[in-house]
Amino acid sequence: MPSETRACGIVVAPDGASMTVYLPVATSTELHAALETSKIVAVVVTRPSTHESIQFKGMLRSIRVAEASEQATVQAYHDRLVVELESIGLPRRISRRMSTWPAYAVECTVDAVFDQTPGSRAGQRLNEVGS
Amino acid sequence: MSIPLDRIVQCFHGVVPNVIATCSAGGLPNITYVSELHYVDANHVALSCQFFNKTAKNLRENPYARVEVYDPLTFEAYRLKLRFERSETDGPLFDTMSGRIDAIAAQTGMAGVFRLRSADICEVLDVQAVPGFLRPPTPEDLAAPIALSVPRNDPVGELRSLQIISDRINRASDLEELLATTLETLGALFGFDHTIILIPDDTGDRLVTLASRGYAHDGVGAVVPFGVGVIGAAARQKRPLRMEVGTELRYRRAIRRTLRDAVTSEVPICGLPDAESELAVPLLVGCQLVGVLAVESRRPAALTQWHEAFISIVGNQIATAIERLSNVETEEPAEQRTTARSFCLYKNDDCIFVDGEYLIRNVPAKILWKVLSAYRREGRTDFSNRELRLDPSLGLPPIKDNLESRLILLRRRLNDKCPDVRIVSSGRGKFTLVVSSAITLTERSSASDLVNS
């Protein structure tokens, strides 16, 4: 049985070979435990107003509690999400209540990137990265 | 403890895309977004398989999946554990899911380009709320409560309101009163602020708008092909259809962008361009479709199963009333203006333009042309429904000719586009042509061919 949770931020390294995914501690207990046993990670990112989506696959390098210096990054990501969700009808007063902090910082490799936008090209590999 | 599935069914057509995670037989995870889940029964959901993607492949290798869904109003999150059971490629469930997909596919110019391959049925093993997904609300959050479209916590009040609208429908003395009263009452008593009534037109494969409420333009005369959009699909399938149309359109348009070469133009549909929720119920007398009643809202999740049931009851009454009033004459006032009008009939598609602008087509156009020609030729202004029914050139069917609906449509189109030419009642089964401008009549076989003038 796979395990999943909604992330609250992602930062891809400039060389595209690694990424840091932020997970709310409040909702990630099960996923945190699963990552202790399985190191394989899949992350999907979407823009809800257009459904444009990509999926990253990689291997776990480490999990740690995010540092205070990273909170601004997570908050900025969340602020953009709130605006995006408002554009499709979800009021800010609701979406701004999503838990984002404290967060785990999940460090992963980026081994493959896939087009995940709905349609015939969904699942198509976009590029070879980190190789 | 697992949450009963029917308590979260509203999450299956959410605003925020739901997430599904699967694993291959070798344990490689895959995670993606799904447009909607379909509630099958208390223990099963169905996934729509339109492209045989990684999720579908994984489910056939390793049947377990996790889905995270979100309440469209409260944004509470729930996690479902699923086990894939089987695929269905025909039957009632497949037809229902396929009909929804086809409706939006047709609207977005992708009819036949993609289709439902299978309904993938999954057993729901567990449903849990995601604790801590939302932080507790602050006083500021609570200061702006979420508004529901219709207050529904007073069963006696609901029944009383239903009685009121039922009485008004029953007392309507003609079709125009019926249409106006019904839409006004739906708005005033129940908060349905955007409503449309359409009837089948003479082609038999599309609907034409007869009345509306809550729009900048009434849209009378606008057509919806059968099978296109929520309204067209409800007409074709002869059953109610309720959809989070904003979410669906965003999802299908994403697909459309990936199929740029294979699609046709999007079909413009009457109604709100930014509707999030839409409900259409067929107006049926026996098995005969006499129209469609559509309700829409800019708010996500504004229309629920309750609204579907309620509007269906009202729709049944409207359908019966349309049948009852189909031969009763009405009168409509209109402003008088003095000007010159140039009417042109395109004979290839029985379509009339006035001053270069589309006015009306098919049987109502033939009726208008008949009376305008008599007026020009003989100065005649008085006509009867009977003579229209006896004129084979108009193409009215021998029974259930909907002449009254056609005359209402014609009156409204004239009132909207050409108010100095009016058709007003002059007694039961009679009407008078009132012309307060100079008119010229031109016939063309087609847009490029002048026949006479």
Q: How far apart are CA B376 and CA B356, in angstroms?
A: 20
Lowest-confidence pick of B17-21, B88-92, B185-189, B245-249: B245-249
Burial B117-135 (b: 16+ CB within 10 A, else e): bbbbbbebeebeebeebbe
Encode pLDDT of B284-297 as tens digits. Answer: 988 889 999 999 98
Q: Is A121 on the interface with B (CB under 8 A)?
A: yes
- Here the ipTM equals 0.91
What number is the average pLDDT over the span B116-121?
Answer: 89
Q: Element (H or E) spanning A55, and its range? A: strand A52-65
Using the 8-state DSSP alphabet, how is residue B67 labeled? E
Contacts for B43 with CB less than 8 Å, ≥ 6 apart: B5, B123, B124
Determine the residue among B126, B257, B296 to mutate to test chain A binding: the one whose Cβ has the most chain A Cβ atoms within 10 Å.
Answer: B257
pLDDT class of B145 with cuts at 50, 70, 90: very low
Confidence check: pLDDT of A56 > 60: yes
In angstroms, what CA-CA distances link B175 with B93, B169, B222, B352, B430?
37, 10, 19, 24, 15
pLDDT class of A65 with cuts at 50, 70, 90: very high
The full DSSP string for B166-200 is HHHHHH--SHHHHHHHHHHHHHHHH---EEEEEEE
B18 or B121: which leads in pLDDT: B121
What number is the average pLDDT over the span A49-67?
Answer: 92
Q: Is A83 on the interface with B (CB under 8 A)?
A: no
Q: Element (H or E) spanning B208, and its range? A: strand B206-213
What is the reported pLDDT for B447? Answer: 64
Inter-chain CB proximity A38 and B27 less than 8 Å: yes
Q: How far apart are CA B67 and CA B44, in angstroms?
A: 13
Inter-chain CB proximity B53 and A119 less than 8 Å: no
Confidence check: pLDDT of A130 > 60: no
Pairing of strands B438-446, B340-346: parallel
Percent of chain A past pLDDT 70, that is, above it, reads 96
Give burial (CB, 10 Å; 0-12/13-18/19+) of A24: buried
Q: What's chain B's average pLDDT?
A: 83
> Comparing C-alpha atoms, which of B301, B327, B281, B408 is closest to residue B75?
B301
Confidence check: pLDDT of A109 > 70: yes
What is the reported pLDDT for B305? Answer: 80
> Comparing C-alpha atoms, which of B118, B19, B144, B31 is closest to residue B70?
B19
pLDDT class of B330 with cuts at 50, 70, 90: very low
Q: Is A71 on the interface with B (CB under 8 A)?
A: no
Q: Is A69 on the interface with B (CB under 8 A)?
A: no
Q: Element (H or E) spanning A94, and its range? A: helix A92-95
Give the nearest chain B residue to A49 (CA atoms): B250
Q: How far apart are CA B267 and CA B289, in angstroms?
A: 22
Confidence check: pLDDT of B147 > 50: no
Give the nearest chain A residue to B74 (CA atoms): A94
**Are B293 and B195 within 8 A, CB to CB?**
yes
pTM equals: 0.69
Encode pLDDT of B162-204 as tens digits. Answer: 888 888 888 887 888 888 888 988 888 778 889 999 988 877 7
Using the 8-state DSSP alphabet, how is residue A12 labeled? E
